[in-house]
């Protein structure tokens, strides 16, 4: 492995630790639930899910799981305390 590759890897590790460098804009995630696979979308700073529970309540286990995985990387994210 060349020194330029090692330098790029070191820089990537640094970036990964500096989460404020990242700005999520739009993405789609397929989340396999217990009974079905659900589509969770992130757009305009909000998570949305195609499941029925989300349509009635504005959140669901699928969006909460995404918040838990992504943590503080989402703008305006509220830390979730889950033991």
Q: Is residue 8 part of a domain?
A: no
Q: Is residue 5 part of a domain?
A: no
Domain count across the chain: 1
Choose among 28, 24, 40, 18: nearest CA to 77.
Answer: 24
Q: Is residue 27 part of a domain?
A: yes
| Element spanning 8, H or E | helix 3-17
Q: Binning pLDDT at 50, 70 and 90, where does residue 29 land?
A: very high
Identify the domain containing residue 73 by its residue range. 23-83
Sheet containing strand 27-32, edge to edge, reads 27-32, 37-43, 46-49
pLDDT, tens digit, 9 for 90 and up, residues 42-57: 998 899 999 999 999 9
The model's pTM is 0.72
Chain centroid, CA 36 distance in Å: 20
Lookup result for tokens 């989300």: 54
Q: How far apart are CA 1 and CA 21, in angstroms?
A: 27
């Amino acid at each position: 492995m060349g020194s330029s590759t090692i330098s790029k890897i070191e820089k990537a590790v640094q970036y990964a630790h500096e989460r404020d460098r990242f700005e999520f804009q739009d993405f789609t995630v397929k989340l396999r639930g217990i009974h079905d696979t659900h589509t969770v979308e992130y757009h305009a700073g909000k998570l949305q899910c195609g499941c029925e529970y989300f349509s009635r309540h504005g959140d669901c286990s699928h969006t909460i799981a995404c918040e838990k995985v992504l943590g503080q990387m989402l703008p305006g994210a509220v830390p979730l305390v889950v033991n």
